[in-house]
Chains A and B, each alone.
Chain A
């Protein structure tokens, strides 16, 4: 295959419609007779529901239906959780609370009206008699002796305990020259996709057909779950993910509103739409992170790390969403990062609190792991008065060590960590940066340099390691006119696979990307698929596409060879022609061969007509992208303001289909990380009220908060798939927070401080600098 398009920075096919506002999100879809649903949400974090009186709301103008949790009891199954951890307790979320509410924003009633104003107004007419209970907000207090359990019939608020140990930890700590202990906190954050969630459902009673449009990353899994939750035939459920304006993991889930809106459409025989407000999105769409990690590290004086022990308190919120308990376990699997640490142990305590559930947020457990191990590397360097680069280098596995087995049971596919580090140091001109830092310190200016050498786990599959299948599907159909439809089970929502899969189709079949149309998100059109998350769409979904393209290509080669009288093995596809390698004059136009497949008069004997192939690709392993990020900050000692000065990102995601899109993913991920590092924090007060409940109080990073990102790449292909691609959707978020944390800690080193918890808000940094001002000069 000649690669005219793969590896080239093609502009995205998706962008013209997005930039011009011509795309259709759920809220842009309107059906005749459409009604609107609105949810009444609990203002209390913890309360018993004595009664819900819907009588006034039901009489309100325009209202056609109003239901409480009691009204739908038994009709809709609770929110599904696919994660299974031995001995985990029940934390199932009812779609509407019936007896008790357990977080602010939990729905207690739903109503449907003829327009969205009538629906919203009628909410104010619902009377709920709450009996407030003491909210349990702090996860450590939640598991302290005497804390009342959130869930009836449970003895405490421990949802599960999970342990992972590899290597001889006892021996490691016995052989240690020093043991470092540190608590680090990875704060709860709110993902904030630009498009909030939305659901539109339509039911045709004659045909018995239910169609649900939802802003989701997993249309097929949602279809299965809606069928199960409503006890409705899956064959009659059609789910469409139209344009989805960002997910970041929040839409890798099944929410009460998806099942309820479908249920309401069936009950009413009318289309029903619900659009989530920003406030609802803050309160009732999954949050991310929220771990307290207590670390113990066994080290040798030369910087060798012998062992790592970590006790984690994971604040799960009140209920499980789809993958809630699973996310912190990914932190455990990746806790040793890109280092040869022979022994490691993690003990996770999953805790119920009166908050929204946590679940997969861009990186999902791996940013927490990288943050943890990279903070460890910096603390080791500080303890031993060595450079952060030296300590990291000392503990890297060498390229010859791959595939590399970790004590946590993973097999890293391929890597050259040294090479990425060297490139980053060169791009940053690290030596010069250190000289500049020394000079500025004399002027009482506080510049800090942070380094993060990371590895992450993505290309989510294989199925043996996943809760609900780790494969992906693709159908390639060459249409009679010669246009190519690629139907992918992946569900891109910003990742750009309409472009990258078209690049692949064009190169395999010797045509132009404009002739390849990528179709996704519609369960009636594309084969059953798993969806887009865990940086898997190209590594797993792309491989399924590639294999289906190969199958179609083989068939076309046989048809073309039959027409020109040549050997199918020797046919070449280029410039919309198929020709024999040795004698290019033996050639047919691409369209002619395609036509032959459909007209079916000149096909080789025994060949079926048509030109379509489907693949369900099952990967043999995860993929493990890696790299080095270097961040330079300067802190204003008077205000505590942290300013980004430089950011160097060297990422290795294996082979690259489109470097422009890779850079876009890296940039976006870094910016999102800057948000967590500098500003973002979901703050619940003691009453369990989310006081960072809107964008006036919850700061997202802006262009003016960023510096230029100097991005470079090394290329270490993976042997796990034929494309050699690893995935890059989350790398930026995984790599960047520790680089920023390292830079801030480095800037504060003259104050005798080696670790500060995120977010690095100005007042917090100012406090650190004023309290420690004269300790070290």
Chain B
């Protein structure tokens, strides 16, 4: 790789990193796992003057319980999430999603914070983060703030993060009894990104016959990952049947403008949103019933 020249900085603390980000503004790029930034720099599509390597920050890679929530440090790798015993029992959707990202090398280097902050339209985590109603914690030199996942993704490669902010943590509520989740993905065969990826998180009623709540996050379909509210409405409070799931899934692409590219037309993506929504919801229900 022969990028344009840049100044490399490797802060050791978050405060130091935040000061650098504040000082350099648009001229700086944060480097975490590097899987989005480095390919762009290799092709000189990105030519940052400063590369701030936050990979050396201490205490930013963890998965732990805090005040009844699960907290994940931004520098936690996909592999760490995939293999976490805590997540396997308290939030299995996230390891299931992590396991479908890229390949082993990508998962060993890539971080959840990097992936979310980059907001690639085909990234996998956004679907899960949305379906889990996660909270994203961002810091700047004057403090931290909490951004709900449903507000976080703004447009292609654009999030609610402000200049000078660093994404530091993801918070997720542990799964409830009678709930289940699943991530179903059609991958682009070259890059492994999602052409369409659907994360379904359902809470069933007593006896597992009805859906009380459904949260559906969809990635890949459009410029930004989103909550498929029309699907959620069509499922919530319904008696579970194949027809209910099938009918609800038809709304997967409602109100969004599907992407169209070399790998999939908008028409195909729209149809795949239906298929993969149905598959994800059906499997989430099976997971929820398995808990009963």
Contacts and interface: CB of A to CB of B under 8 A. Distances in A.
A698 B262 CA distance: 10
B4 interface: yes
Given A766-B268, A766-B271, A121 B262 contact: no
A121 B275 contact: no
Contacts of B5: 117, 121
Interface in B242-292: 262-265, 268, 271-272, 275
A641 B184 CA distance: 14
A210 to B, nearest CB: 27
B252 to A, nearest CB: 13
Nearest to A38: B2
B149 to A, nearest CB: 26
Nearest to B190: A699
Interface string A542-559: 000000000000000000
Contact of B4 (A121, A641, A696, A762): A121
B190 A696 contact: yes
Interface string A664-708: 000000000000001100010000000110111111100001000
A120 interface: yes
A279 B43 contact: yes
B186 interface: yes
Contact of A120 (B2, B39, B190, B191): B2
A312 to B, nearest CB: 27
B190 A763 contact: no
**Most A C-beta atoms less than 10 A away, residue of B5, B188, B189, B265:** B189
A750 B8 CA distance: 60
A447 to B, nearest CB: 20
Contacts of A121: 4-5
Contact of B190 (A117, A638, A641, A697): A697
Nearest to B193: A696
A279 B39 CA distance: 12
Contacts of B43: 279, 694
Interface string B179-191: 0000000101111
Contacts of B275: 638-639
A562 interface: no
Given A279-B43, A699-B189, A117 B2 contact: yes
Interface in A632-683: 638-639, 641, 678-679, 683
A116 B262 contact: no
Contacts of B188: 699
A121 B264 CA distance: 36
A763 B265 contact: yes
Interface in B197-249: none
Nearest to A636: B275
B190 A683 contact: no
Contact of A691 (B39, B262, B271): B262
Contacts of B264: 763
Nearest to A116: B2
A277 B4 CA distance: 15
A679 B2 contact: no
B189 A679 contact: yes
Given A116-B2, A279-B43, A639-B186, A697 B191 contact: yes
Contacts of A678: 189
A696 B272 contact: no
Contact of A695 (B4, B190, B263): B190
Contacts of B189: 678-679, 699, 705
B51 to A, nearest CB: 15
A252 to B, nearest CB: 26
Nearest to A275: B2
A698 B186 CA distance: 17
A720 B132 CA distance: 69
Interface string B83-110: 0000000000000000000000000000
A702 to B, nearest CB: 8
A697 B195 CA distance: 12
B262 A683 contact: yes
Interface string A703-733: 0010000000000000000000000000000
A639 B195 CA distance: 12
A683 B190 CA distance: 14
A697 B264 CA distance: 12
Contacts of B186: 639, 641, 762
Nearest to B263: A697
Given A691-B262, A763-B264, A698 B4 contact: no
Contacts of B2: 116-117, 120, 277
Contacts of A691: 262
Contacts of B191: 696-697
Contacts of A697: 190-191, 262-263
A694 B264 CA distance: 17
A234 to B, nearest CB: 35
Contacts of A679: 189-190
A679 B268 CA distance: 17
Contacts of B271: 766
Given A638-B275, A697-B190, A698-B190, A692 B262 contact: yes
Interface string B25-50: 00000000000000100010000000
A74 to B, nearest CB: 32
A641 B185 CA distance: 13
A764 to B, nearest CB: 10
Contacts of A699: 188-190
Contacts of B272: 639
A267 B17 CA distance: 49
A437 to B, nearest CB: 24
Nearest to A115: B2
Contacts of A117: 2, 5
B279 to A, nearest CB: 9
A21 to B, nearest CB: 15
B183 to A, nearest CB: 16
Contacts of B4: 121
A762 B268 CA distance: 10
B288 to A, nearest CB: 23
A59 to B, nearest CB: 17
Contacts of A692: 262
Interface in A90-127: 116-117, 120-121
A121 B38 CA distance: 17
Nearest to A700: B190
B195 to A, nearest CB: 9
Nearest to A678: B189
A696 B189 CA distance: 9
Nearest to B279: A638
21 contacts: A117-B5, A121-B4, A121-B5, A638-B275, A639-B272, A641-B186, A678-B189, A692-B262, A696-B39, A696-B190, A696-B191, A697-B190, A697-B263, A699-B189, A699-B190, A700-B190, A705-B189, A762-B268, A763-B265, A763-B268, A766-B271
Given A639-B272, A696-B39, 8 more contacts: A117-B5, A639-B186, A683-B262, A694-B43, A695-B190, A697-B190, A699-B190, A763-B265
> Which 9 residue pairs across A and B have the least CB separation, nearest first?
A699-B190, A699-B189, A120-B2, A696-B191, A763-B268, A638-B275, A679-B189, A697-B190, A696-B190
